[in-house]
Amino acid sequence: MIIGITGDYASGKDSAASILEKMNFYHVSFSDLIREELRRRNIKITRENLIEMGNRMREKSGPNILAKIALEKVKDGENYVFTSIRNPEEVRLLQEKEEFILINVTASEKVRLHRIIERNREEDPKTLKELRSKEKIERSSNPNAQQLHKVAEMAKITLSNDSDLERLQEKVEKLVTDWLFKVQPKRPDWDHYFMNIAEAVKARASCLSAKKGAIIVRNKQILSTGYNGTAKGIMHCKDGGCERCTLRHKGKIKSGEYSVPCTCAHAEENAIVQAAYNGICTQEATMYTTFTPCNTCARMIINAGIKEVVALVDYPDDVGTKLLKEANIILRLLK
């Protein structure tokens, strides 16, 4: 879970973050990231310098650069709180994470000014006019600058903090309880899970032509995998092992022309052969393949007893498709 916190001057952003830290959330402050840059350049750390350096970093590396740096610190399975989020592009990048949620901590001007005067920091505003003037700096129309007002509008939750710390803690704890399970990343369904594996298998393909991958599954267990390329012990197609593929990619023969035999095995073929080689029965299994099977692979699928084929891309071979249909084998294209 990643909780982003935004809010106006003295609204209680840091207090909310401190509460989350006590709940074992790791705290990443975007302002601290800018402070690190100021230290590297031996520039005095002031509010004005923080704003200027932050704007400079966004202009040089993109308006979401601080979010990119923050996400690099995230470890899988841990909870984080991000503070000092001040640009909409930072939010948009973070929103690509399903486990991210943005909170806008609010408080009335009267309450915020009272807190500012009470904490008595040297650079803090002392009047309502000074407060509004400083906050105006953070409401720029420059897309590379601070746009706190636009960030606040993007928040999924508004957390009112006009009361005391104890009440804020209750609200933060309730928020975590309410949202912990809602923001967990969605798991892929079984079809997409196995197709993603077939896509990974495809990366091992050694053919000069389209890379393809296939896996055979029964009862949600993988029986075998296959990708296209030359047979074991034969020079890889990508290294010149298949004369036909080499000639085709040199422009000597056309796609679909077989005047020279192809020595590459297809992904589906390899998956079936590997199962046979290891003594694994493929009867009543399902094949996941990145392309619909050609007619040769379709015949092998039929004879291997495979009952269903799930494909990602429709390969232009009507013969293979018709054979599967005639053999009452289910063929599905995965959306």
Spell out the residues 6+ positions from residue 179 whose beta carbon is closer than 8 angstroms to its own: 1, 101, 157
Backbone angles phi, psi at 304, to 5 degrees: -85, -5
**Distances in whole angstroms, Cα of residue 190 to Cα of each of 151, 197, 281, 305:** 37, 11, 21, 21
Is 21 among the catalytic positions? Answer: no
- What is the β-pairing status of strands 80-83 and 26-29? parallel
CA 178 to chain CA centroid, Å, is: 24
**What whole-number distance in Å separates Cα of residue 5 and Cα of residue 175?**
12
CA distance 303 to 305: 5
Which one from 90, 109, 153, 268 is the annotated catalytic residue?
268
**Which among 309, 16, 41 is positioned nearest to 169, based on CA atoms?**
16
Residue pair 327/302 in contact by the 8 Å Cβ criterion: yes
Compute CA distances 221 → 83, 184, 203, 272, whole Å.
Answer: 43, 25, 21, 15
CA dihedral 28, 32, 36, 37 (to 10 degrees): 110
Sign (positive or negative) of CA dihedral 244, 247, 253, 255: positive
CA pair distance 143, 147, nearest whole angstrom: 8
The residues assigned a catalytic role are: 268
